[in-house]
A and B are shown apart, each in its own frame.
Chain A
Amino acid sequence: MKKLALCALLGALAFTPVVASAGLKSSPGLVTLTSSRFSGVVSDARNSADNVQYIGCQGGGTFSYCFARNAAGSSVMCSTSDAGLMAAIRGLTPNSKLEVGYHTGSCTYVWVWTQSSLAAPL
């Protein structure tokens, strides 16, 4: 009986990392930062288990800003009042992949991909 319980425990422990890994999808590069742009999938960053990576945009009526933090903890932020960029930001959904160009605090472009394949697994 003890042997059976031990086997069950070992079996459960053996499968646990696999399940956790599949749920995390936190491969390096989930949020990517360079000196001129940053990118990532909004839902993946939101669901990242490292609780560090983050990417998204927010804004009000007159300006918006975008922000990203990678797994290493480096952060990038840019702001814009450009009507076209703000329209693109308003189009963001949890299934969007976002790429933002920046220079000295200003967003230079915003590129949004939105497709179902980018949705986070349930």
Chain B
Amino acid sequence: VRVGSLLVGALGLTLGIALGSAFTGGRDAAPAAAAPTAATRGELTRLDVAAVVRAELARAPRGPAAAVAPAPVVDPDPQPEVDDAAVVAPEVLDHAARATAVLDQALARGQWTDADGDALRAQIATLPSEQAMPIMVRMSDAVTRGELALATDGMPL
């Protein structure tokens, strides 16, 4: 009986050691199987990125309409823009009107005198080119066409 008990005890001890070794090996193997991967470290794998892209593409609208820009917002009550450069001072308009009158009177007479030149120069010398040029071009063309006979000593102005 004693020998039998010893054999049973040895067998149980061997079995216990074997089982313990098996469980211990399982725990040892677990870290290898669960070795830190990219996923477990919180980073995205290529598969993750592909999945996200697929999901986004699936959600995006399809067809040419997707490329059309949104319609502009229409102001229901547009206000006219004021261009400060286009505003002409009253004195400029006055000089331009006087210069035009000098030319008109000379054209009516068909003659351009030194007095006309002096009068026109007094009005037109201060004008911006936007106001002066139409008058000067009109006078120049009239001289060239012979509609204004020059009675000046030298230059017309």
Contact = CB atoms under 8 A, between A and B. Distances in A.
Interface string B123-157: 00101110011001111111110100010001111
A40 to B, nearest CB: 14
9 contacts: A69-B150, A75-B150, A76-B143, A77-B156, A78-B140, A78-B144, A79-B140, A104-B141, A106-B140
B133 A63 contact: yes
Tell me the interface secondary structure of chain B in the complex.
helix
Given A54-B154, A56-B155, A58-B157, A65 B144 contact: no
B157 A105 contact: no
A69 B20 CA distance: 127
Nearest to B131: A62
Contacts of A102: 140, 144
Interface string B85-127: 0000000000000000000000000000000000000000101
A63 to B, nearest CB: 5
Given A58-B157, A67-B143, 20 more contacts: A54-B155, A56-B155, A58-B155, A62-B127, A62-B128, A63-B132, A63-B136, A65-B140, A65-B156, A65-B157, A75-B144, A77-B144, A77-B156, A78-B144, A79-B140, A102-B144, A104-B137, A105-B136, A105-B139, A105-B140
Interface residues of B, number: 21
Contact of A75 (B125, B133, B136, B143): B143
Contact of A77 (B127, B128, B143): B143
Nearest to B138: A105
Nearest to A69: B150
A77 B129 contact: no
A11 interface: no
Contacts of A75: 143-144, 146, 150
Contacts of B136: 63, 65, 79, 105
Contacts of A105: 136-142, 144
